[in-house]
Structure formats: C-alpha cells, structure tokens
Amino acid sequence: MKELYEIGIVFRGFILVSCEFKKIEKRDKVKNVSMDLRGGFISAITLFAKTAFNNLSLEYLESGNILFIFKALEMQAADCNSKEPVILYGLVDKRKKDPDKFVKKFLEKIDPILNLFITRYSNKDFTEFNQFEPFQNEIREFILN
C-alpha cells in the first residue's frame, strides 16, 4: 500500500503500538506531533460517534489529503471486568481515490491485524507498553507482504 502513512492501535486513549510506513508532508513549521494527543483524539472521536449516534461506529474522517480510518472492536484487560474499545487506525493518502471504496478495501485488509492483537493481548496488563513493541514488526510484515 504505497499510500499508507501509518497504522496503530489505541486503547484507553493511548497508542499501544504504531508503525510508520512513510512521512506525512508538513505544511507549516509544526515540530513534533504528540502521539498522546493522537491517541486521545482517536479514542474521543470514536466514543463520540458511538455515543452521539446510538452505537454508530466511525469508519473514517477526511482532512486535506489524508484519510483517518478507524476500526473499533472490544477487548478485556486484566485490570477490568468488562470489555473496552480497542481501535486500529490508519493514516493514508487519499489523493485520486474514492474514499468509500478505499476505506472498505483497507478495513478488509487490516481486519486480521486487529483480531490477532485482541487474541494475543486480551486479559494482559496494559500498563507495560513495551510488551507491544514486537507487534510493530507483525504489522509491518502483514502490510508489506
């Protein structure tokens, strides 16, 4: 997927793992992007859509030449008795693409990644972020093959 910038997984507002495939062009002299803000935004916007629109899940947002694509499922952490949202996001270049067709194709392709993550990390302690680092290589291999 030559148009792919980044894929990541968000839980409780934090990006647990992300994999960058190419740099997003900077328009202004923006220094560093806060991954904590990105994770918080992704959690907030998906929760907003689900709450405000009666369990409607948000699939994508458009901003300039970038599509923010979301796939939310649920999983359970060791410190909680109920399942919580886990969100896989993708940042892709949308130039010369039909967003609806592209999003559908993208979501079909990445679905196994999110399911594998849920299978592997359900009922784990989510306070140790470094346990998710090896999953970055699995994302990269999955996308590039």
**Residue 92 domain-assigned (yes or no):** yes
In this prediction the pTM is 0.87
Residue 28 lies in a domain: no
Q: Is residue 134 part of a domain?
A: yes
Q: Which CATH number fits the domain that encloses residue 83?
A: 3.30.450
Q: In this structure, are residues 129 and 10 in contact, taking their beta carbons and an 8 Å threshold?
A: no
pLDDT digits (tens, 9 = 90+) for 16-69: 999 999 887 765 555 666 777 888 888 998 888 888 887 677 888 888 888 899
Count of the separate structural domains present in the chain: 1
Distance, CA of 5 to CA of 92 (rounded, Å)? 5
Q: Range of 125's domain?
A: 4-23+54-144
pLDDT score at 17: 94
Do the domain assignments include residue 19? yes
CB proximity list for 62: less than 8 A, separation 6 or greater: 68, 94, 99
Specify if 18 maps to a domain: yes
Q: Quick check: 73 and 85 in contact, CB under 8 A?
A: yes
